[in-house]
Amino acid sequence: ALRDAYDNDALYAFKVLFPSGKGFKFLAEVRQHTWSSGTNGVVAATFSLRLKGKPVSYVVPLAFVKNLEKTLTVNTGALLTM
């Protein structure tokens, strides 16, 4: 996909997500592309992006394993535990 973006000079949307759940979204065009091949047959590629506009930060919403019931009832004087 990056190689196609390099060939057609169009703007593409990118999203970077860090392990903390925070990240950035931005528009960019691919400006440079280089590649190399090692002696072990591994091919590596490097792409340079030119950002268009400011990156926008975002936070991935929390996902719950189990949602609580919408309503809970407790009798007066009963022990309330969570």
Q: How far apart are CA 64 and CA 67, in angstroms?
A: 6
Q: What pLDDT, in 10s, does the model give residues 51-63?
A: 999 999 988 877 7
Beta-sheet strands, E only, within 1-71? 12-17, 22-37, 43-59
Q: Is the pLDDT reported for residue 82 higher than 70?
A: no
Strands 43-59 and 12-17: unpaired
Read off the pLDDT band of 16 (50, 70, 90): very high
Domain boundaries, the chain: 2-59
CB atoms within 10 A of CB 29: 16
